[in-house]
Structures are given as structure tokens and as C-alpha cells.
Amino acid sequence: MEAVIYICLGLLFICGVLAVMLRSLLKSAIALAGASAILAIIMYLLGSVWAGIFELSVCAGLVTVIFVSAISLSNTDKQDLAKLYEDAKRMSALPAILIICGVVLILIAAKTPFMLPAAVPAAETADNFREIFWNHRQVDIWGQVIVVLTGALTVVALFKERE
Amino acid sequence: MSKMEAYVETGMLVVGFLLIVAGCYCLIRTYHLLKIIIGVEVAMKAVTMFVILAGFINGKIALAQAFVITVIVIEVVVAVVAVGLAINLYRIYGNMDIRNLRKLKG
Amino acid sequence: MQVIESSTVLIFAVPLVIFLINSLFSKRLAEKFSMGLAYVAPITQIVATAACFVQIAHLKQHDIIISWDLAGAVSMRFAVHTYSLVFLFCIALVSLASIMVANRTVPQKRTGFASLLMMLILGMNGIVMVTDLFSLYVFLEIVGISSFVLIAMFKSETGLEGAFKYLVMSVLASIMILTGLAFIFMQTGSLQYDHLEASALAGQSPTQLVLIYAAMILMIAGFAIKTGAVPFHSWLPDAHQSANTAVSVLLSGIVIKVAGIYGLIVITGFFGKLPGIKLTLFIMGTISIIIGALFALRQSHFKRIVAYSSVSQMGYILLGLSTVSMLGLLGAVAHVFNHATFKSTLFTNAAAVHEQTGTYDINELGGLEKKMGVTSFSSLAAFMSTAGIPPFAGFWSKLLIIMALWSSGARVFAAIALFASIFTAAYFLRLQRKVFFGKLRDQLAGITEIGGSVKLAQIMLTVVTIAAGLLFPFALLYFRGIGLL
């Protein structure tokens, strides 16, 4: 199981960096979807099945659809894109930065081994996802409802072509 | 917890921080509006992973799942708003260059 | 208890019902009545808040938890404190002023404006009443999303630009806050306020507090972005200048305080005792006061001056919070109330000036005092209150903050806070002199005073500002008398 998690972490990192570094926006969006899918696998491996399903369907699916439609709406010629935004040039320092940060973080981690927090007081007895989500987190569910309604208003307010 | 598992958790923290660095670097350096949103999404992936990791470490994975589902819903709506703004800016300027946004200064 | 429960139900239910009514009826019909209907929400909220306050004063208990049992399951919990009542009242007052201004400045898309305003009110009410850090984050995002759309919905170039800048900074803040929440959750296993209070710092060795420290740095930075404190202020003037003035009233009047300051109040309540946090807030507050005032001196756009003034005033509130004492918190909350009144007055005046003259540029204005007496007077009252001139409300809250700083040993910061008031007076004198005093320009000869709901809003807010100043000591004594302080 550890080995699978390590492989997934590596793939997640690669997908994330590709999403940032790739020159073509379409490929970036696909790399982002890949990162979401791999994150869903990690979630599944850590025992959170429902969150994994959500990540896979909503983030890897819906967000990608949104991005791809936005990209197709604003399609620019490939050469123009490269010349106009100079992404390759402006992003070229990223690998070096990531390597430095990575080395520093690993050194810190090696010096001070990760301390697991002390035993958590058993404040909540229920550890059943269904009960926690629908009963203990009702405020959040109402919050979600309001967020989605606001999202609907957003679509009405921002996406209409002509008034 | 065994020693092995602590290594997994350290690895997840390191990868998460690196992804946040990558996302924020993209957000600062790029000129394209949609690329900014992609950078933000990359960082959000790392944050989602942190929440699940927290639940995994302290044994409250069910609570962490409830958090993550809410976070995902919010993330999508924020992405919709951001893309909506970008498309409206595209309709005005004909491209998605952040360098157009220089009307407000001082 | 019954009164408080039904009041909180009303506070949440009324905006939701108004939103549903707005979206159920046909567009043409809704466009006509939505703005009138929107008045119902803040007025209900003012009444409900007053009822809650009477009940709390009667019970002499300043911290009440309400549980709603839906479907017999474990319930939703909300809390009402004395200071969250102040926030609820400010939300209602500023929203009321905003709707009054919008009556004039929002000619089209009135339904959209009203519906989004309802969502914003719901989000802000949620922030001040939840009992869980994660729920606070959820409502924070509701406030954020509805603010972006409110700024951008009129689709002007500047509006979209301001909204996009705000969105990017705000998403950064969310990333920081959520990472901080994950670390706290990792350490404590729960994010509920009462569990946090018990378990956050209990019996932890310094190495185990590393996670809490990381979380604190991230969350203070995140909420500072939402507040618009220096060095995270870059989005604030842009967003507040470019929005429709009715929206600016909301953003500057209440949103930055509920989204930023209230979060900091909650965090410092739990973790303020950790060394280092006080100093961070001290330094951030002082820099905000000075930099905000200096930037305000250099602007020529009416709304931009007032927006930079918000940055500066948020610094005072941060200084009050940084003492982590009862007196400091009291001063901060009092300043939140005062800032809500005088900042919405100033933005209402900006709307009035723009509606009548067609410009925000203070160099093109002058001598409006004779033509727009009410606007000129309310602007003068608001600016005296901002600068902290004695009989006005701003004086009392700044006095409390400076006293709290002095008694907590931070005398240097107290002195800086005192002398920075001079800058405040400087930029507002400049504004007042260029816009209202002096000789009337020829091209402005035909200007008349604004009428209707905007005038009503000016009068209402000025009365509140002046009354708050005159009654402040008595209110403090009354609170002390009934045991709420």
C-alpha cells in the first residue's frame, strides 16, 4: 500500500507541475484533470471513498468541462499564444525553484522527524460518515446550498451574451 | 503508528507544499487569465490533500470527508465565477492578457 | 430564549425567502418589486437584533447557544454573543444604506443585485453566528463569491478588473485559511469552538505546537488579505473603487470587517496567548494605519481616498485586537461599529456627488457646500468621527484602543496610533476642502442637492454617527450595569 501511495504522490506532483508548465492551455487543463484523478485514488487509498468519488466526478469532470469550454470560447492561434504570453520563458525558473524547495523541505523533514500529534480526545463519538455528514455538518450543507444558489446567480449574471 | 506510515505522511506534506509553490508561482508569473485559474486549482488540489491527510492522521477520516466534499463544491463554484470573469474580460479586450488590467492605479 | 430562537430563524429565513420570491416571478415583474422587497431583510434583522439584545440584557448572559432540531437528528448549532449582535446590527444597517443608494445608482439588473445582496447578507450572518471554524470558512466563501459577482455584474471594464483582482487575492486567502484549518484539525481532531477551547493548547510540547504555529501564520495572513491590511491591501482600493457605489458601501462598510476582522477575533480568542501573535498584529496594524493614510493623501478619486482610509482604519481595529484583552476587544468592536457607520456615510456621499455632478475626480469639484448642504454636513460629521475628534463616536473607540495598548505595555504603538490620527485629519481635510469648501466652479453652477432615498440614507447614517458619539459613554455604563462587560 505504501508503494502505491508513493507512486501516486509522484504522479500527482508530475501532473501538477505539467498543468503549470505546459504551453498549450488545453493540455494544461487535461493535466489538471489527471492530477484530480490521481488525488481521488490517494483519497481512496487513505480510506475516504466518498470524497474520492466527489473529487473524480466533480473536479476531474466538471471543472475540466468548464475549462475546456472557456478555452474553446477564447481560441487563439497557437503561435500567437506562445508569442503573446511568453509562458515558456516566464515559467523557466520553476523547476529550479521546485528542486531547491524540495531539497530544503526534505532536509527539514530529515532533521525533525514528523511529530504525530498527541492522542486526540474523543470529542465526537460517531465516526460513521453518513451520520457525521448529514447530522453533525448540517450547517455546512446549508452553506453548500447557498453556495450553489449563488453559483446559479453567477451564471445568470456573468454568462449571458446580450441583455 | 509505524515508522513507515510517518514517512508517507511526510512525503504527502512535502508534495503538497511543492504543489502550492508551483501553483502560486504560476499565479504570479503567467500573463494568461485562465492559466492563473489553473495555478489556483493546482494549489487547491494540495490543500484538499492536506485536509484528507489530517483526517487520516488523527483518525477522524469521516469528518475529513465531510469537509472535503464541501470544499470541492465551493472550489467548483469559485472556478465558475473566475471563468465567467475571464470570459467577460475576453469579450471586452479580445484576448485573455492580464496586462490589459491596468485601468485601476494609484 | 424563545425570542432569541425565533429571531435567529428570521435572520436566516427572510433573505432566503426574498431570494426565492425574486427568482420565482417573471423577470419583468421582479425587476419592479425586487428593490422594494429587499428592504424587508435588513429591517427585519434590525428588529430581530434589538429583540435579541433585550433578551440577552434580561438574562444577563452574554453567550447563548441555539440548537435547531431538524428531523429529530443532531441539530445545527448557532451562537449569539453580545459582540456578534453588534456585527449583526452593522450588517443590517449597512445593507439598508446600500439598498437606499442602489435605488438611485442601479438602474438595471435590480433583481440580480437584490438577490446577490440577500446571499451576501446570509453569508455574513452565517459568519458571525456559526460555532465551527470550518462552517466559518464555508460562509466566508459565500461572502467572497457574492462580492465578486456584485462587483462584476455591471460588466464595466474597471468592474471586471477589480473583481478579478479581488478574486485572485481572495482565493489565495482561502488557500491559506484552509491549509491552516487542516493543520489545526490535524492537531485537535475537531474544529468546533468549544472543542478548540478545551484541546488546542492543552499539554503540548513546543515541537507539537509547530503545526499550530504554521496554522496561525497562514490564517492570520489569510484573514489579513480579506481585511485588506498592509502588506496585503493591493486589491482593496481597486475593488472598492471600481464597484458600483451601492456595492462599495457594502464592501467597505461591512464585508471587510465580517470576512477579515471577525475571523481574526475568533482566532485570537483561541490562540492569542501564543507568543509572537500579538507582535505580528501590532506591526501589521501600525503599518496599515500609516501606509493607508499616506496613500490616501496622494489620490484624486473620491472613492479611492475613502477606500485607502478603510485600510488605515482597519489598522486601528487590528491594534485593538492585538492586545488580546477585554478592553482591546471592546475597542475593536466599537471601532467596527463606528467604521461601519462613517464609512457607509462617506460612500453614500460619493454616490450623491457622482449622481449630481457626474464625476469622482476631486480636482474637478469644489464649493459644493452651498449647493449640497446635507451631503456636505454628513461628510463633515463622518470625517470628524474618522479622525477621532472628541464628541464624535470615533473618538471613543480610538480612546479605548489606545488605552488598551497603553495598559498592555505597548506604549510605542499607542503613541503611533495617537499621532497617526493627524494623517487621517489631513487626508479628509484635503477631501472636504477640494469637494465642498472653497469657490464654486462655473460648470457646477446648476447642481442641486440629491433627493429621495440617498438623502434619507445620508440623514439616517449621520444621525446614527452623531448619536453613537453622544451616547457612547452612557452605553458603556449601561453595558457595565447589566453585567455584559
Question: Domains in chain B, please, with CATH?
Answer: 3-100 (1.10.287.3510)
Helix (H, G, I), strand (E, B) or coil at B87: helix
Q: How far is A145 from chain C (nearest CA, A)?
A: 10
What pLDDT digit, counting tens, does each position of C320-348 carry?
999 888 899 999 999 999 999 999 999 99
Helix axes C27-38, C82-105, angle to 10 degrees: 130
Residue B34 forms contact with C (CB below 8 Å): no
What pLDDT digit, counting tens, does each position of B47-85 carry?
999 999 998 888 888 899 999 999 999 999 999 999 999
pLDDT for res C140: 95
Of C138, C155, C299, the CB nearest to B70: C138
Helix (H, G, I), strand (E, B) or coil at A126: coil
Of the candidates C321, C371, C313, which has an alpha carbon nearest to the alpha carbon of residue C346?
Answer: C313
- Asked if the model's pLDDT at residue C192 lies above 90, the reply is no
pLDDT for res A73: 83
What pLDDT digit, counting tens, does each position of C389-441 carry?
888 889 999 999 999 999 988 888 888 888 888 888 888 888 888 888 888 88
Which stretches of chain A drop beneath a pLDDT of 50? 119, 122-125
Cα gap A113→A103, rounded to integer Å: 15
Taking the CA atoms of residue A61, residue A64, residue A69 and residue A71 in that order, the dihedral angle to the nearest 10 degrees is: -170
Q: How far is A128 from chain B (nearest CA, A)?
A: 6
Going by pLDDT thresholds of 50, 70 and 90, the confidence category of residue B3 is: very low
Evaluated on CA atoms C255, C261, C265, C266, the torsion sign reads: positive
Q: Best residue in B49, B69, B85, B105 to probe C by mutation, most C CBs within 10 Å?
A: B85
Q: In three state form, how does the secondary structure of chain C look?
A: CHHHHHHHHHHHHHHHHHHHHHHHCCHHHHHHHHHHHHCHHHHHHHHHHHHHHHHHHHHCCCEEEEEECCCCCCCEEEEEEHHHHHHHHHHHHHHHHHHHHHHHHCCCCHHHHHHHHHHHHHHHHHHHHECEHHHHHHHHHHHHHHHHHHHHCCCCHHHHHHHHHHHHHHHHHHHHHHHHHHHHHHHHCCCEHHHHHHHCCCCCCCCCCHHHHHHHHHHHHHHHHHHCCCCCCCHHHHHHHHCCHHHHHHHHHHHHHHHHHHHHHHHHHHHCCCCCHHHHHHHHHHHHHHHHHHHHHHCCEHHHHHHHHHHHHHHHHHHHHHCCCHHHHHHHHHHHHHHHHHHHHHHHHHHHHHHHHCCCEHHHCCCCCCCCHHHHHHHHHHHHHHHCCCCCHHHHHHHHHHHHHHHCCCHHHHHHHHHHHHHHHHHHHHHHHHHCCCCCCHHHCCCCCCCHHHHHHHHHHHHHHHHHHHHHHHHHHHHHHCCCC
Q: Which of B15-29, C208-222, C438-452, C457-471 has the lowest mean pLDDT?
A: C438-452
Residue C171 forms contact with B (CB below 8 Å): yes
pLDDT for res C416: 87
The interface predicted TM-score (ipTM) is 0.94
Binary contact (B62, A127; C-beta < 8 A): yes
Cα gap C41→C138, rounded to integer Å: 22
| C-chain residues near A108 (CB < 8 A) | none
Going by pLDDT thresholds of 50, 70 and 90, the confidence category of residue B1 is: very low
Q: Which residues of chain C approach chain A closer than 8 Å at the C-beta?
A: 19, 70, 73-78, 108-109, 112, 115-116, 119, 122-123, 126, 130, 132, 134-135, 138-139, 141-142, 145-146, 149, 152-153, 186-190, 192, 195, 198-199, 203-204, 207-208, 210-211
pLDDT for res A158: 87
What pLDDT digit, counting tens, does each position of C95-109 carry?
999 999 999 888 888
| A-chain residues near B32 (CB < 8 A) | 25, 85, 87
pLDDT for res A79: 60
Going by pLDDT thresholds of 50, 70 and 90, the confidence category of residue C29 is: confident
Indicate the average pLDDT of chain C.
89
Going by pLDDT thresholds of 50, 70 and 90, the confidence category of residue C3 is: confident
Domain ranges of chain A: 1-74, 126-163
- Asked if the model's pLDDT at residue C70 lies above 70, the reply is no
What pLDDT digit, counting tens, does each position of C77-86 carry?
888 888 889 9
Binary contact (B87, A74; C-beta < 8 A): yes
Going by pLDDT thresholds of 50, 70 and 90, the confidence category of residue B4 is: very low
pLDDT for res B2: 42
Residue predicted with more confidence, C204 or B94: B94
pLDDT for res B60: 85
Percent of chain C with pLDDT over 70: 96
- Asked if the model's pLDDT at residue C207 lies above 90, the reply is no
Of C172, C186, C238, the CB nearest to B104: C238
Cβ atoms within 10 Å of A80's Cβ, excluding its own: 10
Q: What is the mean pLDDT of residues C123-130?
A: 94
- Asked if the model's pLDDT at residue C203 lies above 70, the reply is no
- Asked if the model's pLDDT at residue C375 lies above 60, the reply is yes
Task: Give the number of beta-carbon pairs within 8 Å between A and C.
Answer: 92
Of B48, B65, B79, the CB nearest to A63: B79
